[in-house]
């Protein structure tokens, strides 16, 4: 892809995982509300390709969008406890501004960072904690209706609906990635839900690379690694995008240590507890 890719929210956790993994593969334009320190900017991205703007600033967004071929839209309020006025402005109005500008600029594809919280309501009391365990075959695959667990989830479900609208009315290729629990180097420690929806940094970068390379119309996929204990299906991401994740939370102990460096003969039965601790409220530890 020779034409620029606009990445909004470039300084955040997901943006940095993407740039650290595939920063040298694309001609990036980076937009964030705050100036990005050089340590967060890939080599080859010049000051002219750095935009400091709010995504609700339509004029600034349109300026950054000029001659862009693809958009990876991450910007927004990431707090699961964000109040309505914030998710309305930053996550809903802001996404509408960016999508509308993309359509008007003739952008080919739009990658929207949705969230597991768009379907957090499926994690009911009668399903958890079995839902997070390998012997449970319940799966969400992206065809289910949104069932948000909080206002943040509502905003992400709304972004998915906006993507559907702009695909159907304007032919914009849109993929919505319901991102799981992104952590670097190891799965979330001692957190069963987080290990079920773990997304490693290298799998994150690979997934978004496939979103920029594959051909699709409108898709909703789950952004998690190839975890044994997953309750999100990654089959659609494999089929539609060619996603081939490398990591699996089952390769780590419940404490987050790689199993290949754990002495399995030391008689320590606590390395991987049969009944791990989990929060009574699935969002207590966050995702």
Would you tell me the crossing angle of helices 151-170 and 94-104 to the nearest 10 degrees?
20
For the chain, what percent of residues have pLDDT higher than 90?
89
Instruction: Flag whether pLDDT at 277 surpasses 50.
Output: no
Answer yes or no: is 278 within a domain: no
Instruction: Flag whether pLDDT at 93 surpasses 60.
Output: yes
Q: Is 155 annotated as a binding residue?
A: no
The predicted-structure confidence for 218-272, as pLDDT tens digits, reads as follows: 999 999 999 999 999 999 999 999 999 999 999 999 999 999 865 544 444 444 3
Answer yes or no: is 279 within a domain: no
The enclosing domain of 65 has a CATH number of 3.40.50.720
Q: Is 156 annotated as a binding residue?
A: yes
Answer yes or no: is 282 within a domain: no
pLDDT of residue 284: 37
Q: What is the 3-state secondary structure (H, E, C) of 93-108?
A: HHHHHHHHHHHHCCCC
- Structural domain including 193 reads 5-261
| Mean of pLDDT over the chain | 92
The predicted-structure confidence for 130-157, as pLDDT tens digits, reads as follows: 999 999 999 999 999 999 999 999 999 9
**Inter-CA distances, 173 with 69, 119, 227, Å:** 11, 22, 28
Answer yes or no: is 24 within a domain: yes
**Inter-CA distances, 155 with 70, 91, 152, Å:** 22, 6, 5
pLDDT of residue 262: 55
Q: What is the 3-state secondary structure (H, E, C) of 186-217?
A: CCCCCCHHHHHCEEEHHHHHHHHHHHHHCCCC
Q: Structure pTM?
A: 0.91
Integer Cα distance of 13 and 24 in angstroms: 18
Answer yes or no: is 272 within a domain: no
Instruction: Calculate mean pLDDT across residues 179-192.
Output: 96
The number of C-alpha atoms within 13 Å of 125 and in the hemisphere containing its C-beta is 1
Active site residues: 152
Count of residues making up the chain: 287
Question: What's the total number of domains in the chain?
Answer: 1
């Amino acid at each position: 892809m020779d034409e620029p890719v606009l990445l909004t929210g470039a300084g955040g956790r997901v943006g940095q995982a993407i740039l650290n993994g595939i920063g040298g593969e694309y001609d990036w334009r980076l937009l964030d509300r705050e100036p990005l320190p050089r340590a967060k900017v890939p080599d080859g991205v010049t000051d002219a390709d750095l935009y400091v703007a709010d995504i609700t600033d339509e004029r600034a967004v349109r300026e950054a969008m000029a001659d862009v071929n693809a958009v990876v839209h991450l910007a927004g309020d990431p707090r699961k406890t964000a109040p309505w006025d914030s998710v309305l402005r930053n996550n809903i109005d802001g996404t509408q501004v960016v999508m509308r500008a993309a359509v008007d600029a003739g952008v080919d594809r739009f990658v929207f960072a949705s969230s597991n919280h768009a379907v957090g309501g499926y994690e009911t009391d009668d399903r958890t904690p079995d839902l997070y365990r390998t012997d449970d075959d319940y799966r969400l695959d992206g065809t289910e209706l949104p069932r948000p667990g909080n206002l943040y989830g509502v905003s992400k479900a709304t972004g998915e609906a906006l993507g559907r609208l702009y695909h159907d009315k304007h032919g914009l290729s849109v993929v919505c990635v319901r991102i799981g629990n992104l952590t670097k180097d190891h799965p979330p420690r001692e957190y069963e839900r987080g290990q079920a929806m773990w997304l490693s940094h290298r799998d994150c970068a690979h997934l978004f690379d496939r979103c920029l390379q594959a051909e699709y119309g409108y898709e909703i996929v789950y952004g998690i690694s190839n975890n044994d204990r997953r309750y999100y299906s990654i089959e659609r991401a494999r089929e539609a995008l060619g996603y081939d994740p490398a990591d699996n939370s089952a390769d780590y102990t419940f404490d987050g240590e790689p199993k290949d460096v754990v002495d399995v003969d030391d008689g320590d039965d606590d390395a991987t507890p049969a009944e791990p601790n989990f929060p009574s409220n699935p969002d207590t530890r966050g995702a």
